[in-house]
Structure 1
Amino acid sequence: MGRSGPVRTGAGRSPGAGPRPRRTPPRRVLKDDRGVSVLEFAGFLPILLVIGLAAIQLGLIGYAAGQAGSGARAAARVTAQGGDGAAAGRAAMDSGLDADVDTADDGELSRATATVTVPVLVPFVGSGWQVTRTVTMPTDE
């Protein structure tokens, strides 16, 4: 015996509509990942700041070394010509730096030593770092 009545193809769908699209399950709030990148950035930000401060501190060490070299050269040059080399060495360096210049002249050679205390940007790395540069020049006769 055969079936009687219309053939059902789906609730409210026409017979030639094709397969029914899959329904996606509703998203659960606990599995939502919005805002995770902000939390990752907030967790990584202190590390980025420490790396940035360390790079700036290395730059300050290089700056202090350059200033010590300039001061020692100026002091040795002026001492070799018979002048006040210590004052010339301090004048050749940045006035904001804590620097000390020592000179010596033994008649043939003039020697100047400049010592600069490195400014500390990062407080937990310690203090009291010093950069020393020594320059020797022949004394003018």
Structure 2
Amino acid sequence: MSRQRQRRRERGQAAVEYAGVIALLLFVALAAIQLGVAAYAAQQAGTAARAGARAASMPDGDGQAGRAATAAVSEWLRPRTESGSCGVEVTVEVTVDIPQVLPIFDFGSAHRSVTMPCD
């Protein structure tokens, strides 16, 4: 096989390899972003649970846990809050759905619970 013929056969090989590497790098970058979003959602669930428990532990805190938890997190994360009534202590549980960046990764939701003594 002549050199010219071999070069013609290899034309475009670099472009194909480049496209494959770019696709792989894009996938890795999106997977890293998904892990960051999951960690952020878990951190926000903890923040919401602490804020909700703090609000519910106050003397006039009945029904305030949900509002305080929602106010403590980013708007695009919608926490679901459950709290008991204030006796000796109050427990607030917050669940935040983890948004999906890639449809193949499903982390579900982040769940945090905080217990505080009542004032």
Asked whether the two chains share a fold, i.e. TM above 0.5, the reply is yes
Between structure 1 and structure 2, the one with the greater Rg is 1
Match runs of 1:42-81 below 5 Å: 42-81=19-58
SS of residue matched to 2:99: coil
SS of residue matched to 1:78: helix
Aligned to 2:98: 118
CA deviation map 1:71-98 (0-9, x unaligned): 0000001111131111111111112113
CA deviation map 1:19-63 (0-9, x unaligned): xxxxxxxx7123336654332111222221111111111111011
Q: Distance in 2 between matches of 1:124 and 1:85?
A: 34
2:48, 2:73 within 8 Å by CA — same for their partners in 1? yes
Q: Distance in 2 between matches of 1:29 and 1:81?
A: 83
Q: Distance in 1 between matches of 2:113 and 2:79?
A: 13
Q: Distance in 2 between matches of 1:99 and 1:107?
A: 24
Aligned to 1:109: 89
Residue 131 (structure 1) shift: 0.4
Greater relative contact order (Cα 8 A, min sep 6): structure 1 or 2? Answer: 2
Structure with the larger helix share? 2
Q: Distance in 1 between matches of 2:82 and 2:5?
A: 69
| Structure 1 unmatched ranges of 5 or more | 1-26
Deviant stretches of 4+, over 6 Å: none
Identity of paired residues, percent?
A: 37
